[in-house]
A and B are shown apart, each in its own frame.
Chain A
Amino acid sequence: MMPLNKPVQMLSLHNVDGGLQPLRFRYEDERHNLHTVSIQEILSAKEIHYAGIQGLQYLCRAMVLDQEKVFELRYLIKSHRWILFRIIL
């Protein structure tokens, strides 16, 4: 099971134009096994300000444990954290 709304370790790419692109992240399951997920496609990216808290929101597609998943990653600018926010599909 992927932990939801938890910070994850992230490998990401910072472009010269300031753009930020998540590439690969790692999460720990309930049995403390580490899983690495390589993002196959970023479906959409936008800046968010919910409740005034600035972040970047990415909808991504990737294979997770042999299943294709669509999920939402968030980068919170103030805390510099990547969050696996929710699984969409």
Chain B
Amino acid sequence: MNSQKIIAHVDVNSAFLSWTAVYRLQILGETLDLRTIPAVIGGDSKTRHGIVLAKSEPAKAMGVQTGEPLYQARKKCPYLQVFPPDYSLYVQASQKLIVLLKEVAPVVEQYSIDEAWIDLSGTQRLYGPPLQAAYQIKNRIRDELGFTVNIGLSNNKILAKIAGDFAKPDLVHTLFPPEIPSKLWPLPVKKMFQVGAASEQKLHAMGIFTIGQLAHANPERLRQALHKHGEVLWRFANGYGEDTLTEQTPLNKGYSNSLTTAKDITNRQDAHHLLLSLCETAAMRMRQDEQSGSCVGVFLRSNDFRHFAQQHQLEQPSDSTIEIYRQACWIFDRLWDGATPLRQLGVSITKVTTTPIRQMRLFIQDDYDRLAKGDTAIDQIRRKFGENALFRACFLQSTTPPLSGGLSKERRTGVTKPVEQDPSLSWD
């Protein structure tokens, strides 16, 4: 045999929906399988927070998309059934999946709550040929854990991930280098790993519509149009990619929080309150992981679905709620015209590093040691007495909750997906 690695990408089909479906069948003893009807997992539909977090195959067939608002999904599919997410269940199911994978494969790299790569190199004599091994693993997960997965097989991580995405559910696909021209190149560029809407548009503008065209494009031209990302995509399209798995769960690349409000936000003070409550949770999560971020971003969505976003670099990395909040307000004030009614606000903190020792500054506005002590004390009190034990006085008269965005215990202890451009959740 050659020295090529065998990498498999395991991805739970409609993860949140499947897990809830299995729970209802196997634990609640219901007979209806949510995977067989138009159903979604989504936030509370009575308030306006609801977006589609995961969808069943029948819902997908009717055009329902992950990330869209529930009311929009209902328009496409009037009989759509909506079920609330159960994050503690999802974390349990995810952990069991990883335990099972670690039983069968020597190296497992978890990528998100419902995805992992496993290295099957050298397991031939144990499981037979890779394809056979993949089928065994897939079926074992289905039979033992009750939910289905897709497995993609190749020689590196990217190709394996793309293969796993081919047709769903409950299938194994291969995408080994000799298969690239026939299986990968005819696909539209948006199917390429890490091609978002923005990159897709730029590629289209260059006359690149398929992954094959991307693979044959001049990398220099791609670099001019898409910077370093262009070259990365060109490498992926030609089948080059990392084939070494890292066991350790990567820390969050960034922290973000957003909230869709029940009413339009039309005044600055309400917006600032909301930003503060978002910063509280994001910064708490960050401190919990002992991380600091040096880039603060704010994004807004108006009531007519226009998006605005901007980010700004801090002088040095910070994990202080107040410092991040101040930066967020500063960005917000530059971003917002003071009139457009807003429906969604978000804060992100990126360029994250392990919290360093703070450099002394020549001109200190605040006593950062005192701020840090304050943050630590607040975190401790909240951990001990609950998240609502302590909140800032400005929230007393405000309708804004003092802590917004995902902070439930399950979410915190669970594996969160690295933050990319869009902070909205998508787990399928």
Contacts and interface: CB of A to CB of B under 8 A. Distances in A.
Nearest to B25: A50
B97 A52 contact: yes
Interface string A1-16: 0001100000000000
A49 B26 CA distance: 10
A54 B26 CA distance: 11
B22 A51 contact: yes
B29 A5 contact: yes
A48 B19 CA distance: 15
A52 B144 contact: no
B96 A5 contact: no
A4 to B, nearest CB: 6
A82 B92 CA distance: 20
Interface centre among B19, B27, B28, B144 (most CB of A within 10 A): B27
Contact of B27 (A4, A53, A86): A53
A49 B19 CA distance: 12
Nearest to A6: B29
A51 B92 contact: yes
A49 B144 contact: yes
Contacts of B95: 52
Contact of B96 (A4, A49, A85): A49
A5 B262 CA distance: 39
A86 B31 CA distance: 11
A47 to B, nearest CB: 9
Interface in B1-50: 19, 22-23, 25-29
B145 interface: yes
B28 to A, nearest CB: 7
A51 B93 CA distance: 5
Contact of A4 (B25, B29, B146): B29
A50 B145 contact: yes
Contacts of A51: 19, 22-23, 26-27, 89, 92-93, 145-147
Contacts of A53: 23, 26-27, 89, 92
At the interface, is chain A mostly helix, strand, loop or mixed? mixed
B404 interface: no
Contact of A52 (B25, B28, B29, B96): B96
A48 B93 CA distance: 12
Contacts of A85: 29
B94 interface: yes
B424 to A, nearest CB: 25
Interface in A35-89: 48-54, 85-86
A50 B26 contact: yes
B29 A50 contact: no
A48 B23 CA distance: 12
A78 to B, nearest CB: 9
B89 A52 contact: yes
A74 to B, nearest CB: 9
A26 to B, nearest CB: 19
Contacts of A86: 29
Interface string B78-113: 000000000001001111110010000000000000
A5 B27 CA distance: 8
Contacts of A52: 19, 89, 92-97, 145
A50 B27 contact: yes
Interface centre among A53, A54, A86 (most CB of B within 10 A): A53
A85 B27 CA distance: 9
A76 B251 CA distance: 33
Interface in B302-353: none
Nearest 9 pairs of A and B residues by beta carbon: A5-B29, A52-B93, A52-B96, A50-B26, A50-B146, A52-B92, A51-B22, A51-B23, A51-B93
11 contacts: A4-B29, A5-B29, A48-B144, A51-B26, A51-B27, A52-B19, A52-B93, A52-B95, A53-B27, A53-B89, A85-B29
Given A49-B100, A52-B94, A52-B145, 12 more contacts: A4-B29, A50-B22, A50-B23, A51-B22, A51-B92, A51-B146, A51-B147, A52-B89, A52-B93, A53-B26, A53-B92, A85-B29
Interface of A: 4-5, 48-54, 85-86
